[in-house]
Structure 1
Amino acid sequence: MIKKVQLPLQTMNLLVGFMVWVIISALIPFMQEDIQIAPERISLLTAVPVILGSVLRIPLGYYANLIGARITFIVSFILLLLPVFYISEASSFTDLLIGGIFLGIGGAIFSVGVTSLPKYYEKEKHGLVNGIYSVGNVGTAVTTFAAPVIASQIGWSATVKLYLVLLLIFAVLNIFLGDRKEEKVKQPIISQIQGVYKNEKLWLFSLFYFITFGSFVAFTVYLPNFLVTHFGLESVDAGMRTAGFIVVATFIRPVGGWLGDRFSPQHLLVGVFSIYTFAAILLAFSPSIELYTIGTLAIAVSAGIGNGVIFKLVPMYFSKQAGIANGIVSMMGGLGGFFPPIILSTVFAITGHYAIGFMLLSQLALASLVLVFWMIFQGKLEIQTSVFNSTNQGIMVTKKDSTIVSVNPAFTRLTGYTEDEIIGETPSLLKSGEQDQSFYDHMWSVINEQGEWQGEIWNRRKNGELYLEWLTISEIRDDAGEVTHYVGTFSDITNHQEERREA
């Protein structure tokens, strides 16, 4: 029973954490009535909670494996009580800045669920499960929409204090409903980091999440104030529109995870970053509110699908270091939400519009699209390499002039020559002397006419032992039809020859 509760419980945990994470950005218009905040400092104030919310994702992902999600969530909610109360009593910009830093704990708990929940489900459902869990992101929409409405009735300070009650309720719920018997992974954090940081896929996933989740966070904290100042909307109207963006991006995440379970995640990312590129270009031209809405909704859809797909990919490649890998990738996504608001406000201060900032987003998306294509190509190449290295047949690749350029492990096992010893040599090093020149002349005549030859041939191992092999030699041609290489594949059939003689 407890295991079945984990998905809804942890999803609600994430919702509460994200509700707390964006308190300041949602209530800034109300806070400005009591606290003097320079316009150029607003972006910093809304972006600062993202810092700790990003960096802490690595240790929280690690501890979710080490001590379990239950304890990690309980401690996180208790720690959040302090900055929330501090902010409710804030009287200066500095107070809000200090409290905002520690609100980041609310955003950091994201890595707890994506590390814990896959333990309860088979791999074929990891994309959907992480997608459902990520619906907890809608907590930012709840606060963005509800907090201004409540603050207009009871004031922003009392509104912030309501979150103290919510945090206490969920700390208690985790005490009683959290899984005390969750599978733990007790591996030192340094060894886990060493096991993943050299893998280029980790940094590709980090870049992709930096853009998809980073833009989600950035639009969440940037839209309310932007819609008020740029389009002249009322604070509540701006909050509702921002909430709509968040809801679309959030509820499309399970769809992204579900699609990732059923189709190629890499091919889905091609579509995601194609949409990103065109949508960001549209926003760069400072369109009307209608076209701006279309552009932001396109970003919301592609961000949601991208987020779901990426956390389908992470456990596929880092199952043994899921906590650290999830923490690093989600940290980069969180940091992706820190820089855009600052960049956009700086660009606006210099140029008077946001075009350059959005064009930068389009270029990052385009670069990511190219990298996805590269990753797809590398994946196919890795499969070919795996086949090359794992086959039991010896394989030798030569240039047109017969210089050996590549051999596989089976070649070394069958001939005794290592790769270092044979590269740069020619196949004549293996000659046994059992075949005369006419044999080789006929063999090459067939290759030149038909593009391939196969048959029995005696060769000599490094230790001098003769062996009979079944050899196939094939041409490799370029797009112009010119021969560039030859591939020889062979297997040892000496024992079969002896069996035929005895028979």
Structure 2
Amino acid sequence: MIKKMQLPLQTLNLITGFMVWVIISSLLPFIREDIAIPAEKLAMVTALPVVLGSILRIPLGYYANVLGARVIFLASFVLLLFPVYYISEAGTYGDLIIGGLFLGIGGAVFSVGVTSLPKYYPKEKHGFVNGIYGIGNLGTALSTFMAPIAATQLGWSLTIKLYLGLLMIFIVLNFFFGDRHETKVKTPIMDQIKGVIKNEKLWLFSLFYFITFGSFVAFTIYLPNFLVTNFDLEKVDAGLRTAGFIALATFMRPVGGWLGDKFQPLLLLIATFVIYTGAAVLLAFVPSMGLYTVGCLAIAFSAGLGNGVIFKLVPMYFNKQAGIVNGIVSMMGGLGGFFPPIMLSLIYSLTGQYSIGFMLLSEVALASLVLVIWLYYHGKLALTSEVFNSTGQGILVTDIAGNIKSVNPAFTKLTGFTEQEVLGKKPNVLKSGKQEKAFYQDLWSNLKEKGMWQGEIWNKRKNGEDYLQWLNISAIKDETGEHLRYVGTFTDITEERKA
């Protein structure tokens, strides 16, 4: 029973953590009425919670494996009580900076669930399960939507104090319903880091999540104030529109995970960055409210889709190091939410507009698209290489003139010849002398006319021993039907013939 409760409980935990994480950005228009915040420092106030929320994802992901999700969620919510209360009593810009920094714990809990929940489900459901857990992003939408409404009636200080009660409820829920017997993984953290740090897929996934989740966080932080100052919207209206952005991105996350379970995840990422690039170009021209809405919703759609797909890919490639990899990838996503608001504010202060910032965003998305395409085809080539090297059949590849270009390990095992010994030579280095010249003439005639030949042939090993092969030779053709190379596969059937 407890195991079945982990997905809904941990998803609600994430909603709570994310609600707390964005308290300041959700209530910033109200807080500014009482606390003087210089315009050039607004980005720092809203972005600082993202810093600790990003960096802490590595240790929280690791310790979720070591101690279990129950302990980590409990400890995180207890610790959050202090900065939430401190911010509710804030009277200066410095108070917001100090309290906001420690609000990052609420965003850091993300890496706990993506590490813990796959333990309860088979691999073919990991994308969907992590996508459902990602609905916890909805916490930012709930705060963005509900906090301004409550602050209108109660004031921002009392509204923030309401979050203390929410945290207490989830401390109790995790204490009683968290899984005390979750499977633990206790590989030392440095051993796990050393095992993945040189894997290029870790850094590619980190870059992709830097953009997709980073844009989700950045737009969540950036939109409420931007819509008020640039389109003269009411604060509640701006909050509603931002909540719509968050809701669409959050809904697309489980959809992306589910699609990742059903289809090739890298192809879905290609589609993600195609949409993303186009939307960022549209936003760069600072269009009318209608077109701006279309661009933002396209970003939300692609960001949510990409977020779900990426956390299908992580357990596919890093099953044993999921905790530390989830922490690193999700940390990079959090940092992706830290830099864009600062960059946009800096560009705006220098140019008076945001266009250059969005054009830079489109260029980064385009570069990511190229990298995903490379990763997709690199993976196909790696699979081909793996099959080539691991098959039990001997394989040799020749050019059109019959010069050997490549052989596999099974070729060496069956013939005794290493690749270096046969490269550039003709296959007749294996010739036994038991077949007449007419046999080889017939073989090549069939190969050139029909594109293939198969049959029994006597060949010789490096040690001089004759053996009987079953040999298949196929021609590799170009689009015009011209032969480019020949591939021969063979097995030793000497013992079978004797039997």
TM-score band, normalised by the shorter chain?
over 0.9
Q: Provide the C-alpha distance between the structure 2 equivalents of 1:187 and 1:65, rounded to a whole number of angstroms.
A: 9
Q: Which residue of 2 aligns with 1:358?
A: 358
What amino acid is aligned across from residue 47 of structure 1 in structure 2? A
Alpha-carbon offset, residue 98 of structure 1: 2.2
- Residue number in structure 2 paired with 1:215: 215
Report how far residue 125 of structure 1 moved: 2.1
CA displacement, residues 48-86 of structure 1 (integer Å, 9 cap, x when unaligned): 111111111111111111110000001111121222222
Q: Give the match for residue 62 of structure 1.
A: 62
3-state SS, counterpart of residue 462 of structure 1: coil
| Mean CA deviation greater in 114-123 or 65-74 | 114-123
The one-character-per-residue Cα deviations of 1:80-113 (angstroms, maximum 9, x if unpaired) are: 1222222223332222222222211110100101
3-state SS, counterpart of residue 490 of structure 1:
strand
Shift of residue 365, structure 1, vs aligned partner? 2.2
Summarize deviations over 1:377-435 as a string: whole Å, max 9, x none.
23332332232223221001123344322211211221122334433444233233334
Amino acid at match of 1:153: Q
1:36 Cα deviation (Å)?
2.1
- TM-score for both structures, normalised by structure 2: 0.95
User: AA paired with 1:239?
Assistant: G
Structure 1 residue 302: Cα displacement: 1.7
* Corresponding residue number in structure 2 for 1:237: 237
SS at match of 1:486: strand
Residue 244 (structure 1) shift:
1.4
Residue in structure 2 matched with residue 7 of structure 1 by the alignment: 7
Cross-structure match for 2:427? 427
1:243-322 to 2 correspondence within 5 Å? 243-322=243-322
Aligned-pair distance for 1:329? Answer: 1.5
What is the DSSP-based 3-state SS (H/G/I as helix, E as strand, rest coil) of the residue aligned with 1:319?
coil
Which letter does structure 1 place at the counterpart of 2:114? V
**Alignment-derived partner of residue 463 in structure 2:** 463
Aligned mates of 1:426, 1:169 — CA distance in 2: 77
**Alignment match, 2:345:** 345
Query: What is the Cα deviation at residue 368 of structure 1?
Result: 2.4
Which residue of structure 2 lines up, in the alignment, with residue 132 of structure 1? 132
- SS of 2:103's partner is helix
Partner of 1:33: 33
Q: Which moved more, 1:482-491 or 1:326-335?
A: 482-491
By how many angstroms is 1:122 displaced?
A: 2.0
Aligned partner of 2:21 in structure 1 is 21
The share of aligned pairs that are identical, in percent, is 69
**What SS class does the counterpart of residue 33 from structure 2 fall into?**
coil
Supply the distance in 2 between the matched residues of 1:95 and 1:471 (Cα, whole angstroms): 78
* 1:200 shift after superposition: 2.5
* Whole-Å separation in 1 of the counterparts to 2:70 and 2:445: 73
Q: State the match for 2:498 in structure 1.
A: 498
Map 1:85-484 → 2, pairs under 5 A: 85-479=85-479, 481-484=481-484
Letter in 2 for 1:177: F
After superposition, the C-alpha distances for 1:340-367 in whole angstroms (9 at most, x for unaligned) are 1111112222222111211222222222
| In structure 2, C-alpha distance between the alignment counterparts of 1:312 and 1:353, rounded to whole Å | 37
User: 1:451 offset after TM fit, Å?
Assistant: 3.0
Partners of 1:358 and 1:383 lie apart in 2 by 37
In structure 1, distance between residues paired with 2:419 and 2:82:
62
CA displacement at 1:458 relative to structure 2: 2.1
Code of the residue aligned with 1:303 in structure 2: it is A
> What is the one-letter code of the residue matched to 2:478?
D
Give, in whole Å, the separation in 2 of the partners of 1:195 and 1:420.
32
User: Separation in 2 of the partners of 1:14 and 1:420?
Assistant: 57
Which letter does structure 1 place at the counterpart of 2:396? M
Give, in angstroms, the shift of residue 241 of structure 1. Answer: 1.2
Deviations 1:267-290 (A, max 9, x none): 222322222122111111111111
**Equivalent AA in structure 1 for residue 387 of structure 2:** V
For 1:45 and 1:418, how far apart are their aligned partners in 2?
A: 64
Q: How does 1:78-89 map to 2 (within 5 A)?
A: 78-89=78-89
Farther off after superposition, 397-406 or 180-189: 397-406
Q: Please say which of residues 248-257 and 65-74 is displaced more in the overlay.
A: 248-257
Distance 1:414 1:431 in 2: 14
How far is the alpha carbon of 1:174 from its aligned partner?
0.8
Residue of structure 2 equivalent to 1:73: 73
Indicate the SS of the match to 2:470: strand
Query: Higher mean Cα deviation, 242-251 or 177-186?
Result: 242-251
What is the CA deviation profile of residues 427-449 of structure 1, one whole-angstrom value per residue up to 9, with x for unaligned ones?
A: 23323333455544443344333
* Distance in 1 between residues matched to 2:228 and 2:187, nearest whole Å: 49
Structure 2 SS opposite 1:338? helix
Q: Structure 1 residues 455-464 or 418-427, which shifts more?
A: 418-427
Q: Deviations over 1:128-154 (max 9, x none)?
A: 221111111111111112222222333
Name structure 1 gaps, 5 residues minimum: none
Q: Where does structure 2 lack aligned partners over 5 or more consecutive residues?
A: none
The one-character-per-residue Cα deviations of 1:288-343 (angstroms, maximum 9, x if unpaired) are 11111111112112211221122122212222111112112211111111111111
State the SS of the aligned residue for 1:337.
Answer: helix
Deviation at 1:11, TM superposition (A): 0.9
Q: Deviations over 1:465-490 (max 9, x none)?
A: 22111222333233455443221211
Q: Counterparts of 1:47 and 1:403 in 2: how far apart (Å)?
A: 62
Q: Distance in 2 between matches of 1:50 and 1:80?
A: 14
- Relative distance call for 1:473 and 1:333 in structure 2 (3 A) is same
- Cα distance in 2 for residues equivalent to 1:425 and 1:80: 71
Provide the secondary structure at the position in 1 that maps to 2:397: strand
Residues matched between the structures, number? 499
Question: How far did 1:179 drift?
Answer: 0.5
For 2:395 and 2:325, how far apart are their aligned partners in 1? 36
Q: Which residue of 1 aligns with 2:45?
A: 45
